[in-house]
Structure 1
Amino acid sequence: MKLRPIAEVGAELGLSPEDVLPWGRDRAKVSLEALDRRSHQGRLVLVSAINPTPPGEGKTTMSVALAMGLRRRGRRAVAALREPSLGPVFGVKGGGTGGGEASLEPAADINLHFTGDLHAITSAHNLLAALVDNTVYYGHPVALESTRVRWRRALDMNDRFLRNVIVGLGGRAHGVPRETAFDITAASEVMAILALAGNLQDLEARLSRIVVGQAPDGSAVRAKDVEAAAAMVALLKDALMPNLAQTREGGPALVHAGPFGNIAHGCSSVVGTRLALTYADEVVTEAGFGFDLGAEKFLDIKCRSAGLWPRGVMVVVTLRALKYHGGAALAKVAEPDREALARGFDHLEKHLESVAAFGLPAVLCVNRFPQDSEPELDELRAFAKARGVGIAVCDSFSRGGEGALELADAVLAMLDATDEAPPKPRFLYTLEQPPEEKIRAIARTVYGADDVAFTPGAVKDLEAVRALGGAGLPVCMAKTHLSLSDDPAKQGRPRGFTLTVREVRLSAGAGFLVALTGELLTMPGLPREPSARRIVVHGDGRITGLMQGE
């Protein structure tokens, strides 16, 4: 497939040649100065979803599809999406560039090294780790207790053997032994910071605030105290610029930053979103996993930090996921089962209630699979009509932008209805509330929990958070993406449950607290049959096997 020259893609969006910095022939960085050259304000569409089945429901595919459909309707539309991480690419999910005819290009490059952003983030993270341990070793430039070091190391790969490690072995000449761990790069606080930073100065200020450990008197030791921030910015300077790519039909896409949807906030970059809103009529962006995890963080963390607010939400649903939440076995979700489908509507209902809690309108996007039956689709249409929610069936996986015209029309109708009175920000909690109450507000409103329980370890963590001045920050909830609860086995709409918080971490640089629940891990492992085993590099250099079903 022949791709458009990247300068031509940028010109369609309205970017000047001086702002498009080619990174090879078919991708580019966009200068941050482009943000200052226009004052246009487009309409922001947040793409979310119900809780998925383990293989996923095609939220990125539908995001790309919507941008393609809007473009076919003559709109200047752009998709502002996250960068894939090598962990999922080689693990369970495969590539993260959409699917079929609704994908981003150059797909293989985006899924692998792209413009080097994740490598830069990994390097900056580990530079800080090296400077922290060097500070422990020399006791300079600040006193830092080796037993109170909080900063771990990072790697952009799924590797369960790095979840718990010992560093500094080999005698005094080689360091001070201590236990530590690795996180996947997408879960790094540096990744979260890059995605939230507004410019280079903001980036350095946020990096400076990272709490890496504690001094002997218990006071916080930050990245600025070990004199790391400026060197980290030097590594991240180019990575802060958004990346320009294109859809399979040649439409513009800004693909930038890829925070983990649990431990980080799961959203693409603020500078990428702002750039898109400056140059496009409609901006299609997504947040990680379902509405309970991704959209809530997008609204309560990213929008609060950046001063943004969407016009509406497109909620991606599939018949197979609805049946799964209605009690059908995963192996049977492709088969007709109208009873399981009807039970699954209760799960969808909860997500629509959550969208309404933020004061936003919604449109349902049905990602059609080949096995989907028309009678079951009609039942879903009837469900949406009874609730006054727009709905469109999309088959862009096989038909590209042509298969997203119904979806584009439904979304445009939702957006047009907000023009006279755009939705105003409505958060689930205020920053002045105690952290425990912020967590309860999320758990009760979005998950449907009765209450929240805090383990003794979490209570101790919250005491440390208060002592370190982090009580006034928003909360990033880390829980399973497979359920509204903290138990991945509880499908549907769980009721009568208590959410258990086992750990709370302070991400002072990113500007939020992380509340961990369940058995969530910040360093995933590879499955028994990892995606890496199906990848083939052909003689002409083409790479296949990166995407599911390829």
Structure 2
Amino acid sequence: MSKKVGSDIEIAREAKMKPIREVAAKLGIKEEHLLPFGHTKAKISMDYVKSLKNQKDGKLILVTAINPTPAGEGKTTTTVGLGDGLNRIGKKAIICLREPSLGPCFGVKGGAAGGGYAQVVPMEDINLHFTGDFHAIGAAHNLLSALIDNHIYWGNELGFDTRRVSWRRVIDMNDRALRQITNSLGGVSNGFPREDGFDITVASEVMAIFCLSTDLADLTKRLGNIIVGYTRDKKPIYARDLKADGAMTVLLKDAIAPNLVQTLENNPAFIHGGPFANIAHGCNSVIATTTALKLADYVVTEAGFGADLGAEKFFDIKCRKAGLKPAAAVIVATIRALKMHGGVAKEDLGKENVAAVKKGGENLARHIENVKKFGVPAVVAINRFSADTDAELDAVRQLCAELGSEAIECNHWALGSEGTEKLAHAVVKLADGGSSNFKPLYPDEMPLWDKVRTIAQNLYGAQGIIADKAVRDRFAEFEKMGFGHYPVCMAKTQYSFSTDPNLKGAPSNHVVPIREIRLSAGAEFIVVVCGEIMTMPGLPRVPSANHIRLNDKLEVEGLF
């Protein structure tokens, strides 16, 4: 069934990459519209992007998944495999992915460019500095941070209450020591000491704005709308009040152009932006997605974590804001992950256990039902492992059939596009069938509290939501400020439908506690924090960084 497969980085290193101009030519993009970064990656000029405005859109396919487990699901790998599979059966397709963050690369997760024979390349570049987008986003964010403290130092004309400065600093690295700091120590010449802290760059509101903006003018407007703090009488202070929006845009003017690379099979891939999938919406940039839709018949994209977070935010935030209408969805599952949701320990996943697959299938079933609540038809991709048995696969097929969805075995990790041919045909049938009737889960005018409750009850299976009076008052305050029409961005654990990461399967009638809410006025959504959510991860006891090095040939090793 499968061939012997080396490590991801070994396979990527053996890739026969085409010059990026040849990949662009497949899409009808002339070399003059490319801004090359070496021979195998390039940005597409914004002038060219604008010229596509009146082109007909292709069909948008979302790849999402069940709640993630340590057993692995393979959402990015499936996205790449499906894109290759569509091209294999003669369709013009582009994949759209997020850019990986350096923090997880050197932390516990490792690289994030797919795996096996379903990867995007150049893998090392994509996982490391790539085209410098994240550095530009971090610089723009920290410029605003510097302007705040500089303004306070030179007289504080805007009247910042230094206890209520809400804008922190960022770095694209996992560093728990920076979560909470005191800045401006060292005497009068260094400013006024105050509490501060760092988030990881992907959690920055600048990142969310970058990925939701439609052009440079929209980007500037949104950056100006960032609320950075409050006065003593609790009036908001905006980035535009500091005259920061212009300079921040200058730092982002090149980064905003979408990045073009290729898969191992030399098919086009846009990799652009990468907001945190917990604290933000977890999707690649609107500009990359809408550009791809003008250039291909099918665009395959993914959203972070399981469908309860990723697909919901993709539908309710990105599609709502950008006017996107997805034609179909793919829900990725593995037999191993379903067993874990069925109560099997990681060390026992290699043994056949049909009963556990059926029990864990409750998680998959809820995701299928949830995606269909948005009016989007769904197919299930079973990312097959060598230890999976026919009886276990049959149990998943039967479950999906009872819910009106097809479950298709995929072997793209070992076989590349050959392993996703059947899935590609099924996706085309769904997308071309006209059965999609996409609609967001809630209307803009619904009160913020009711939006949260709607998500919790309809998607999480919760009985309801609870919050302290101070939090409920904050909901009312944001509505009074004129932000009640914003969508809500749920920040909760990715491992469960509940706020308890250990509660697997499909828990019901639980209560979702809301710890706090945050206003992202530039990104134009309200972040609703449920449980403990980290915006600055820490490194594990043995970080991936310990194994990453250059060999004698100056090749990167240890990047998975």
Aligned to 2:440: 427
- Alpha-carbon distance between aligned partners in 2 of 1:509 and 1:380, rounded to the nearest angstrom: 43
Look up the equivalent residue of 1:33 and give its one-letter code: D
Q: State whether structure 2 residue 363 is matched by structure 1 residue 386.
A: no
Look up the equivalent residue of 2:442 and give its one-letter code: Y
Q: Tell me by how many angstroms 1:412 deviates.
A: 1.1
Look up the equivalent residue of 2:359 and give its one-letter code: R
- Alpha-carbon distance between aligned partners in 1 of 2:130 and 2:35, rounded to the nearest angstrom: 14
Q: Tell me by how many angstroms 1:541 deviates.
A: 2.2
* Cα offsets for 1:144-167 (capped at 9, x unmatched): 221111101111011111111111
Conserved 8 A contact 1:346-1:492: yes
Aligned to 1:276: 292
Residue number among 126, 134, 142 corresponding to 1:118 in the alignment: 134
- Alpha-carbon distance between aligned partners in 1 of 2:116 and 2:286, rounded to the nearest angstrom: 28
Look up the equivalent residue of 2:347 and give its one-letter code: A
Q: State whether structure 2 residue 200 is matched by structure 1 residue 187.
A: no
Aligned to 1:495: 508
Once the two structures are overlaid, the 10-residue window that deviates more, 426-435 or 513-522, is 426-435
Once the two structures are overlaid, the 10-residue window that deviates more, 365-374 or 477-486, is 365-374
- Alpha-carbon distance between aligned partners in 2 of 1:331 and 1:176, rounded to the nearest angstrom: 54
Residue number among 520, 534, 552 corresponding to 1:521 in the alignment: 534
- Alpha-carbon distance between aligned partners in 1 of 2:407 and 2:30, rounded to the nearest angstrom: 37
Q: How many residues align?
A: 544
Give 1:444-463 correspondences, 5 Å limit: 444-463=457-476
Q: Tell me by how many angstroms 1:334 deviates.
A: 3.0
* Cα offsets for 1:266-286 (capped at 9, x unmatched): 000000001100000100000
Residue number among 539, 547, 560 corresponding to 1:534 in the alignment: 547
Q: TM-score when scaled to structure 2?
A: 0.95
Q: Tell me by how many angstroms 1:217 deviates.
A: 3.0
SS in structure 2 at match of 1:225: helix
Conserved 8 A contact 1:98-1:104: yes
Q: State whether structure 2 residue 54 is matched by structure 1 residue 34.
A: no
Q: Tell me by how many angstroms 1:542 deviates.
A: 1.6
Aligned to 2:22: 8
Once the two structures are overlaid, the 10-residue window that deviates more, 533-542 or 299-308, is 533-542
- Alpha-carbon distance between aligned partners in 2 of 1:370 and 1:139, rounded to the nearest angstrom: 66
Q: State whether structure 2 residue 280 is matched by structure 1 residue 264.
A: yes
In the superposition, relative to structure 1, how do residues 184 and 457 fare at CA in structure 2: closer, same or farther (>3 Å)? farther
In the superposition, relative to structure 1, how do residues 397 and 376 fare at CA in structure 2: closer, same or farther (>3 Å)? same
Q: Tell me by how many angstroms 1:464 deviates.
A: 4.2
CA RMSD across the alignment? 1.3
- Alpha-carbon distance between aligned partners in 2 of 1:516 and 1:56, rounded to the nearest angstrom: 25
Conserved 8 A contact 1:88-1:158: yes
- Alpha-carbon distance between aligned partners in 2 of 1:56 and 1:268, rounded to the nearest angstrom: 21
- Alpha-carbon distance between aligned partners in 2 of 1:149 and 1:168, rounded to the nearest angstrom: 14
- Which segments of 5 or more consecutive residues in structure 2 lack a partner in the other structure? 1-14
Conserved 8 A contact 2:212-2:318: yes
Once the two structures are overlaid, the 10-residue window that deviates more, 370-379 or 132-141, is 132-141
Q: State whether structure 2 residue 152 is matched by structure 1 residue 139.
A: no
- Alpha-carbon distance between aligned partners in 2 of 1:58 and 1:457, rounded to the nearest angstrom: 40
Conserved 8 A contact 2:365-2:400: no
Q: Tell me by how many angstroms 1:462 deviates.
A: 2.6
Look up the equivalent residue of 1:14 and give its one-letter code: G
Aligned to 1:54: 70
Once the two structures are overlaid, the 10-residue window that deviates more, 135-144 or 359-368, is 135-144
Residue number among 507, 527, 534 corresponding to 2:520 in the alignment: 507
- Alpha-carbon distance between aligned partners in 2 of 1:199 and 1:55, rounded to the nearest angstrom: 39
Once the two structures are overlaid, the 10-residue window that deviates more, 402-411 or 329-338, is 329-338
Aligned to 2:429: 413
Conserved 8 A contact 1:244-1:252: yes
Aligned to 2:8: none
- Alpha-carbon distance between aligned partners in 2 of 1:182 and 1:463, rounded to the nearest angstrom: 28
In the superposition, relative to structure 1, how do residues 56 and 458 fare at CA in structure 2: closer, same or farther (>3 Å)? farther
Conserved 8 A contact 1:84-1:258: yes
SS in structure 1 at match of 2:299: strand
Q: Tell me by how many angstroms 1:457 deviates.
A: 4.5
In the superposition, relative to structure 1, how do residues 137 and 461 fare at CA in structure 2: closer, same or farther (>3 Å)? farther
Conserved 8 A contact 2:71-2:340: no
Conserved 8 A contact 2:517-2:529: yes
Look up the equivalent residue of 1:523 and give its one-letter code: M
Identity of matched residues, %: 49
Give 1:307-456 correspondences, 5 Å limit: 307-418=323-434, 423-456=436-469
Conserved 8 A contact 2:547-2:558: yes
Look up the equivalent residue of 1:430 and give its one-letter code: P
* Cα offsets for 1:455-501 (capped at 9, x unmatched): 34423533442354322211000000110111101000111210001
* Cα offsets for 1:177-212 (capped at 9, x unmatched): 111111111110000000000000000000000000
Aligned to 1:152: 168
- Which segments of 5 or more consecutive residues in structure 1 lack a partner in the other structure? none
Look up the equivalent residue of 2:303 and give its one-letter code: A
Q: Tell me by how many angstroms 1:213 deviates.
A: 0.5
Conserved 8 A contact 1:101-1:396: yes
Once the two structures are overlaid, the 10-residue window that deviates more, 33-42 or 404-413, is 33-42
- Alpha-carbon distance between aligned partners in 2 of 1:54 and 1:88, rounded to the nearest angstrom: 15
Once the two structures are overlaid, the 10-residue window that deviates more, 526-535 or 450-459, is 450-459
Aligned to 2:223: 207
Q: Tell me by how many angstroms 1:436 deviates.
A: 0.8
* Cα offsets for 1:296-353 (capped at 9, x unmatched): 0000000111010100110001001111111111222232111111101111111111
- Alpha-carbon distance between aligned partners in 2 of 1:516 and 1:55, rounded to the nearest angstrom: 26
Q: State whether structure 2 residue 37 is matched by structure 1 residue 23.
A: yes
Once the two structures are overlaid, the 10-residue window that deviates more, 299-308 or 400-409, is 400-409
SS in structure 1 at match of 2:249: helix
Q: TM-score when scaled to structure 1?
A: 0.97
Once the two structures are overlaid, the 10-residue window that deviates more, 48-57 or 488-497, is 48-57
Look up the equivalent residue of 2:430 and give its one-letter code: M
SS in structure 2 at match of 1:92: coil
Look up the equivalent residue of 1:77 and give its one-letter code: A
Look up the equivalent residue of 1:23 and give its one-letter code: F
